[in-house]
Every structure is written in structure tokens, then in C-alpha cells.
Structure 1
């Protein structure tokens, strides 16, 4: 089973990912993330930091996704493992649609065509939703802010996320990111356990 955690920067997604590794340790989950699970992820981070051409940046994200699937996700799923990823394909559409809006006439269509036929759709996606002002307040002390971390950008990104959730309600669970971290952790842990109940796990 593939479970993904999504949301704008500062929503608490990465902290939740770390906590789930502990709360679900008895299920021996494969904890992974995009970008960063493969060597290509380092190049993605560099492209973001250097504000590379939006198309080049998007293609690096796609390359990282392909390597992540080959090296981590598909092998784990073939073994019947539970995989939990901090960001995945929905981040690509939510963020890159915004980045590519000034370069392509149909960013969403281009992204769909690039991914069509080879990606793996998550079984369950938790989308943490939080006001942009609150999210930016949480990230203001970061040493180096990414170009995505601006109010107008994050507002558009969050709307892209919500649009995807409306289009695929069968896999999205929307979580109030303003709730206490322990409340969110308990809820998400319980939901994951319900979903994997009866499935063969190591």
C-alpha cells in the first residue's frame, strides 16, 4: 500500500512523517520522500535554490520521481510493504503548475502527458490544509527560503491541491493542519491502521 502526505510548506507534513515512523513501527513501513530519496533529488534541490528554468526544474522533479519509483516504491510494493512518502506526485502538479504557468499554455496537461502510463497512483493521500499566513509564520526562521515560499504562490499551490482532492475524493483525506500535532498524528495513525487492516504486512 502506498500512502502519501501532501500540503504546502509549513503545514506540518514532514513532522508528521517523522512521527508516523514511530507510531507505525510495528508495521515496518518504508519511510521515503520526494525529492531526496535518490541522488537526483540533490539536483532538484540545487535547481530550486538556483531558481533554474521552470521547465528544467519540472523535468528534474519528474526524473527524481521516476528514480524514486524504480529504486524505492515499486520494489517495496512488490514485497507487500507499506510505503509512506513525504510528498509524491501531487506535489508535482500542485507546485509545478504554478511554476510553469508563465512558460506553457496548459501546464496541467503537459504534466499529465509526461506522467501518463508509468507512475503509481497512491492508495491514500493525506492533505494537510493550513492558512497560508500560518504556514509562512512557521517557515519564517528557515535559513534559506525556497522561491515557492511566498504567500501568492502558496495560495495557488494550496488551491491546486484542493482541486485534485475534489477530483479524486476516493483517495484524499483532508486534515486540518492547524490542529495540535498529536491530534493529527493520532488521527492519521488510526486511519492508516484501518486501511491496512487485513492486508499482509511483514
Structure 2
């Protein structure tokens, strides 16, 4: 948990799941309730993060271990420069992807070892975990259909890669149900948003 007056929420899931839509809807709802909301994404969210994002996703081949280390560097800088300061000001931080993506993509997808990548990520962010992580779940084939093409190196991977990532997200959520919510990404976006907001209310993280 954050350990601050702020609120930290992450949206996770495969490419094409609809995370960005849910981030936007939740940010709007919380702003309407009077909260100051910082919306960000990973990789990216800072000037350094944007450079890492372009290098890893759109540059030449990056070895799996180098990929994991670059994403960890993005997380470390992002948390220090943006996430923690916002939480300490009492703001809500909503991020499109966080450490779970690295564990799933590099640990499970790249087969580097989920435990090893998790430990690396936790070191990078000094053990900061979200108050709630919402996993927007869609089958790999549906994610590919929604993307409508290949836009970066990870999206170009085969469905088997993306399905392994999907299953790892679900396993992480099953292992810590108290701080995860899994929603069916094939349902209408408004329904998914309502479920996320209801869960935050049930947890006492936002007023009803």
C-alpha cells in the first residue's frame, strides 16, 4: 500500500484490453468527487521514461534481460519523480501499467523468471505497490483484433506470448485478491468502470 494520504491505482492487462479507457473514466469520476488526480503510464510518464519507451518498444532488438532492466529503470525514476511526490501531496495517482506488467511480460512472456523480475521491480520502486490493481482481462486473440495491427515490438509477439502474459496477470490477481480486481474486458466499458468504482468504495478508498 502507499503509506500516504494519497491513493494509488494501477490498471493492468494485455495489449488492446481497454486499460486506457478505464483510466480515463476513473480519473473523470474521481475528479468529479473533488480529488486531484494524476494520470500516467509506464513505460513513460517522465521525459526519461518516454525515451526508454521509444528505445525498448520502437528501437532495434533489445535482449530480454536488458529489456527487464530498462523497464525497471523507468519504474524507479517514475516513482521517485512523479508517483511518490503526488501521493505525498494527497493526490490520486492512476497509472496505465505498473510493476505487474514487467513481471508478466519479462518474467512470464520472456521466461526470465517471474520471481526474479518481481524482486527487481520491487527494488526499483522501493516496494511501493498500488492500493488497488484492476486487471482488464481479454483473450490474446481479442486483444490482437482490437489492436488492428502491430504498433510496437511487444505487440508483434505471437498469441502464445500474449496468452502466457494474460494467465500470469490472472494468477497474480488470484494470489492477492484483497488488492486486485479482475474485470472482463469484453463487457461494455461503462460496466467495467462501475465495477472498479464499486470496489474502491467497498475498500473504503473513496466515499460512496
When normalised by structure 2's length, the TM-score is 0.84
Q: 88, 95, 105: which is aligned to 1:95? A: 105
Q: 60, 79, 87: which is aligned to 2:89? A: 79
Question: Helix, strand or coil: the match of 2:44?
Answer: coil
Residue 197 of structure 1, CA deviation:
3.2
Give the direction of change, closer, same or farther, for the CA distance of 1:89–1:59 in structure 2 (3 Å limit).
Answer: same
Q: Which runs of 5+ in 2 are unaligned?
A: 1-6
What corresponds to 1:155 in structure 2? 163
Q: Which runs of 4+ in 1 moved over 6 A?
A: none
Cα distance in 2 for partners of 1:32, 1:158 equals: 22
What corresponds to 1:47 in structure 2? 56
Number of equivalenced pairs = 193
2:148 is aligned with 1:135: no
Superposition RMSD in Å: 1.9
Write out per-residue CA displacement over residues 98-137 of structure 1, whole angstroms, 9 at most, x where no aligned residue.
3542xx5xx2232133234513011111011112111110
Q: 155, 176, 188: which is aligned to 1:180? A: 188
Cα distance in 2 for partners of 1:197, 1:157 equals: 30
Cα distance in 1 for partners of 2:22, 2:115 equals: 31
Q: 166, 174, 177: which is aligned to 1:169? A: 177
**Bigger mean CA offset, 47-56 vs 166-175:** 47-56
Cα distance in 2 for partners of 1:145, 1:100 equals: 16
Give the direction of change, closer, same or farther, for the CA distance of 1:48–1:98 in structure 2 (3 Å limit).
Answer: farther
Cα distance in 2 for partners of 1:89, 1:62 equals: 8
Cα distance in 2 for partners of 1:43, 1:64 equals: 7
Q: 75, 96, 108: which is aligned to 2:114? A: 108
Q: Tell me if the contact between 1:28 and 1:82 (Cα under 8 Å) persists in the aligned partners.
A: yes
Give the direction of change, closer, same or farther, for the CA distance of 1:22–1:112 in structure 2 (3 Å limit).
Answer: closer
Give the direction of change, closer, same or farther, for the CA distance of 1:109–1:189 in structure 2 (3 Å limit).
Answer: closer
What corresponds to 2:14 in structure 1? 8
Cα distance in 1 for partners of 2:206, 2:121 equals: 30
Question: Helix, strand or coil: the match of 1:170?
Answer: helix
Residue 169 of structure 1, CA deviation:
1.2
